[in-house]
Amino acid sequence: MQQRKIFLDDEELPKQWYSIIPDLPKPLPPTIEPDKRQPGPGIVPLIFPKAIIGQEISKERFIDIPDEVREVYKLWRPTPLFRAMALEKALKTPAKIYYKYEGVSPPGSHKPNTAVAQAYYNMKEGTERMATETGAGQWGSALAFGCMLFGLKCTVYMVKASYNQKPYRRIMMESYGADVYASPSEETESGRKILKDDPDNPGSLGIAISEAVEDALKNEKVKYGIGSVFNHVLLHQTVIGLEAKKQMEAVDDYPDIIYGCIGGGSSFSGLFWPFYYDKVSGKAPKDVQFVATEATACPKVTKGEYTFDHGDTARLTPLVPMHTIGHDFIPAPIHAGGLRYHGIAPTISRLVSEKKMQTKAYNQVEVFDAAKIFINTEGIIPAPEPAHAIKGVVDEALRCKKTGEKKTIMFLLCGHGYFDMQAYADYFSGKLLPYEYPAEKVAEAMQRLKKLYPWLDELKKII
């Protein structure tokens, strides 16, 4: 019998997270402190609690999930795995399509998987308030939710463009008890500086990060929470893939190819790392492939350079070894807010450079076309970010139709789109443009970076 939805019992919730670090084909390069031109953690030890720093640099393969965190996870985990039979039928593909759905969490995405863990470790170490940035509001609502559950205060610097366009995410954060400021804000020095020169600055994720980091640096009982890119964040997300493996086992299937979207790379890593572990440890029954999808409006991996760059506009973070289109990148106002970050998790860059995964970029028009097919068959309205993965899956399923391949395709539906109705309204009224970030602009940003750090080309050799 073919099963359309695959659920797991509470007891099957994983007891440990999986870290890819010991299984990478080549170690990660270190982060670099630009003033010393030496490897070093920069401000990282000043803004995170010790347990998080420990996980960030850990070489362990399996790390215990605290019982208190597992109890909170049980509010919505294990999440369902669906077989997209109606989508398969509509595409007339011989391929099987499965998707793991993280939109069932209270804030509506995968992000609470790490937000809850971060809030827990902060609570344990006596943090009183957490500060963070948010773009579309997904991460801010997840951290507000986590802080609420562990009795911490939460301050969210929300990119001004989203703050104005998406009031409902802000109200969600406020419902969870957070204080939300439009960034750039008057609350921090970095915000005030930008507003002075440019009062109408629409903000960016980079600017908002600078504000939140500054808040944590200046206040002893305040720590910073991050929604993606860092190793510990990706680690926390692996509950997704560990569950998905059990669910595939339950229906006696295994993916040939796995798709996800990449903003900073956390949700997709959460799904594919455990399958990657199967592969490197010789346990995978198939030569499973991994495909990361990004927006042509923010093509950090497909058009960016694998080098060292700052994680934020104000250059507070050390130089991170990653693909980047420049820390001064100002994104076009596309609706997939979560994909507009200029860089990517260093582990993704390492796996891409070692050809262990592929990347594809899609424009928002073709992405919403694919989302429409998904909505009309499976019924769930996807967030614009995972709609990029859906585009990749639809293309692959149609290719299988031509070749007759009976592949098993899996993807991560990392969030629902019920706060993104304006995006769908713009799509349906034909207002969306197939925006592509020009390669020349990336080249210019790389020139600026090299002007800032003339020794970068030499340093790059250690990558």
Ligand X SMILES: *Cc1c(COP(=O)(O)O)cnc(C)c1O
The reply on whether position 111 binds ligand X by CB under 6 A is yes
Q: Which of 109, 118, 127, 313 binds ligand X (CB under 6 A)?
A: 109
The reply on whether position 107 binds ligand X by CB under 6 A is no
Q: Which of 123, 235, 244, 261 binds ligand X (CB under 6 A)?
A: 261
**Residue 132 Cβ, how far from ligand X at the closest point, in Å?**
12
The reply on whether position 385 binds ligand X by CB under 6 A is yes
Distance CA 7, CA 352 (A): 32
Backbone phi, then psi, for 427, in 5-degree steps?
-65, -50
**Residue 147 Cβ, how far from ligand X at the closest point, in Å?**
17
Q: Which of 31, 105, 228, 364 binds ligand X (CB under 6 A)?
A: 228
The reply on whether position 371 binds ligand X by CB under 6 A is no
**Residue 246 Cβ, how far from ligand X at the closest point, in Å?**
21
Distance CA 13, CA 213 (A): 33
Stretch that binds ligand X, among 116-124, 255-263, 298-306, 422-430 (CB under 6 A): 255-263
Three-state SS annotation for 79-145 = CCEEECHHHHHHHCCCCEEEEEECCCCCCCECCHHHHHHHHHHHHHCCCCEEEEEECCCHHHHHHHH
Angle at 321 between CA 319 and CA 322, to 5 degrees: 115
Residue with smaller CB distance to ligand X, 132 or 266: 266
Which residue do the tokens 């990148």 mark? 329
**H helices of 229-345, where?**
231-236, 239-250, 266-280
The reply on whether position 265 binds ligand X by CB under 6 A is yes
Encoded one letter per residue, x for contact with ligand X by CB under 6 A and - for no contact, window 133-152 reads -----xx-------------
Dump strand ranges (E) for 262-362.
Answer: 289-295, 305-310, 319-324, 358-362
Q: Which of 122, 204, 267, 363 binds ligand X (CB under 6 A)?
A: 267
| Tokens of residue 41, six digits | 């953690």
Distance CA 269, CA 271 (A): 5
Tell me which residue of 371, 375, 395 sits closest to 91, measured CA to CA. Answer: 395
Q: Which of 415, 437, 442, 449 binds ligand X (CB under 6 A)?
A: 415
Stretch that binds ligand X, among 149-157, 174-182, 350-358, 383-391 (CB under 6 A): 383-391
Count of residues of this chain found to bind ligand X when the rule CB under 6 A is applied: 19
Question: For the chain, first and last CA: distance in Å?
Answer: 49
Q: Which of 266, 296, 317, 359 binds ligand X (CB under 6 A)?
A: 266
Distance CA 171, CA 427 (A): 24
Residue with smaller CB distance to ligand X, 418 or 428: 418
* Contact present, 91 and 398 (Cβ < 8 Å): yes
Residue with smaller CB distance to ligand X, 187 or 385: 385
The reply on whether position 288 binds ligand X by CB under 6 A is no
Stretch that binds ligand X, among 33-41, 62-70, 251-259, 264-272 (CB under 6 A): 264-272
- Count other C-beta atoms under 10 Å from residue 7's C-beta: 12
The reply on whether position 347 binds ligand X by CB under 6 A is no
Q: Could you give the maximum distance between any two Cα atoms of the chain, in Å?
A: 65
Contacting positions for ligand X (CB under 6 A): 109, 111, 138-139, 227-228, 261-267, 338, 383, 385-386, 414-415
